[in-house]
Amino acid sequence: MSDLEEVPLDTRKGRAAGALSVFLAALSVLAVLCFHFPEYLTTPELRRSYDVALLRRVLEATMLAAAVLGSWALLSGGAKRLGITGIGLTLVAVWMGGANVQVGDFEQPKIAFGLDWLVLALLSNTLVFVLIERMWPHRQEQLVLRKEWRLDLIYYAFNHIMISVILLITTAFSERLFGWAVNADVQAAIRSQPVWLQLIEVLFAADFMQYWGHRMMHEHPVLWNVHAVHHCPAHMDWLSGSRIHFGEVLFTRSTVLLPIYLLGFSEAAVNAYVIWVGIQSLLIHSNVGLDFGPLRYLVSTPHFHHWHHSADAEAIDKNYAAHLPVLDMLFGSYLDNKGRWPQSYGVVGKPLPRGFVAQHLYPFIAPPKK
Ligand SMILES: [Zn+2]
Ligand SMILES: [Zn+2]
């Protein structure tokens, strides 16, 4: 019997309620901070598209859920500390003003931290992906809070909070270096097409860039030490895919943005692409064992990308595509292995150091190797 099975079901449910209470209450505190300091902690691009009144209602519901779950954890026994922490953090959010904080007009500095983006994404991603990983697990025994989840959460948080910096740098890359190549007639012709066709084109264009950028990182010994950070998790789930060196985030985002910038796709097509990327990048890493049938030849699935992360010899340098496996089929790096899953994940050889800072320094101190 595993350790988990030895814990009485009521206590397990109490712990889950307590953990969820702490999670929701912590997000509530961060959300209240966003309402207090929108000029420094919210993302201008995001703020234009959300309804603040609706978000206040979401915050109220989140605080209420945190308090109820915290009380349940407290009463069920076995999770008292989690229950007290969840209720305590909820009270802090209420004391800070809760959903009623109002501020006047403000000037937004050029760079702001995307705390609002982090809170909204983390809340929705966690609720959706934990649910589907529980419903259709690949590895049933893998816990939600598995080994190194804290490290992956730090990566997730950092890459979301830095959204303004990422947008600023990647946009400058395209505009400053390739602004001369923009052709208004080409862009008008692209924009005159139906949005669904533009979405297919943008997926191809972006994934073509990402495929070769990704392959280059695998094949160049110095670049591999940067990309090895993404390959070092030994467990795969929706959160583990966030482990990406910040240099790689900037490099990949810049190269992917370039064809979008040059070809001038419509806003609707780019928005659809951004939503697609957001969902697929989490899904392909997730601990989901679903067989997508013939769809798996069309779009990258968890099975396809888990093989990319495999440490098994047959899988090394295979399945690079982020969206469309046809790129691997075209360029000779496709591995199917239908119905069979990898035995192990991670980098081959000496493991990487642990920790966010150590892994960011790793490419600068590790000898080039592959
Ligand atoms: Zn890779
Ligand atoms: Zn990956």
Cα of 283 vs centre of ligand 2, distance in Å, is: 10
Given a cut of 90, is residue 138 above it in pLDDT? yes
- Closest ligand to residue 305's CA: 2
Sign of torsion over alpha carbons 212, 158, 141, 276: negative
Q: Taking residues 229-256, what's their average pLDDT?
A: 97
C-beta of residue 178 within 8 angstroms of C-beta of residue 258:
yes
Share of the chain above pLDDT 90, in %: 84
Cα of 115 vs centre of ligand 2, distance in Å, is: 24
Residue 2 half-sphere exposure, CB side, CA atoms within 13 Å?
6
Cα of 309 vs centre of ligand 1, distance in Å, is: 7
Cα of 182 vs centre of ligand 1, distance in Å, is: 31
**Residue 17, φ and ψ in degrees, nearest 5:** -65, -40
Cα of 320 vs centre of ligand 1, distance in Å, is: 6
Cα of 295 vs centre of ligand 2, distance in Å, is: 19
pLDDT confidence of residue 367: 79
Q: Kindly report the average pLDDT of the chain as a whole number.
A: 93
Given a cut of 80, is residue 3 above it in pLDDT? no
C-beta of residue 33 within 8 angstroms of C-beta of residue 113:
no
Predicted confidence band at 170 (pLDDT cuts at 50, 70, 90)? very high
Largest CA distance in the chain: 68
CA Rg, the chain, in Å?
22
Given a cut of 60, is residue 5 above it in pLDDT? no
Helix (H, G, I), strand (E, B) or coil at 345: strand
Distance between alpha carbon 240 and the CA centroid of its chain, in Å? Answer: 8
Given a cut of 90, is residue 222 above it in pLDDT? yes
pLDDT confidence of residue 9: 66
Provide CB contacts within 8 A for 93, sequence distance 6+.
25, 28, 29, 31, 32, 63
Cα of 69 vs centre of ligand 1, distance in Å, is: 39
Length of the chain measured in residues: 370
- Closest ligand to residue 322's CA: 2
- Closest ligand to residue 306's CA: 2
pLDDT confidence of residue 7: 59
- Closest ligand to residue 217's CA: 1
Question: What distance in Å separates the CA atoms of residue 146 and residue 12, rounded to the nearest whole number?
Answer: 15
C-beta of residue 61 within 8 angstroms of C-beta of residue 164:
no
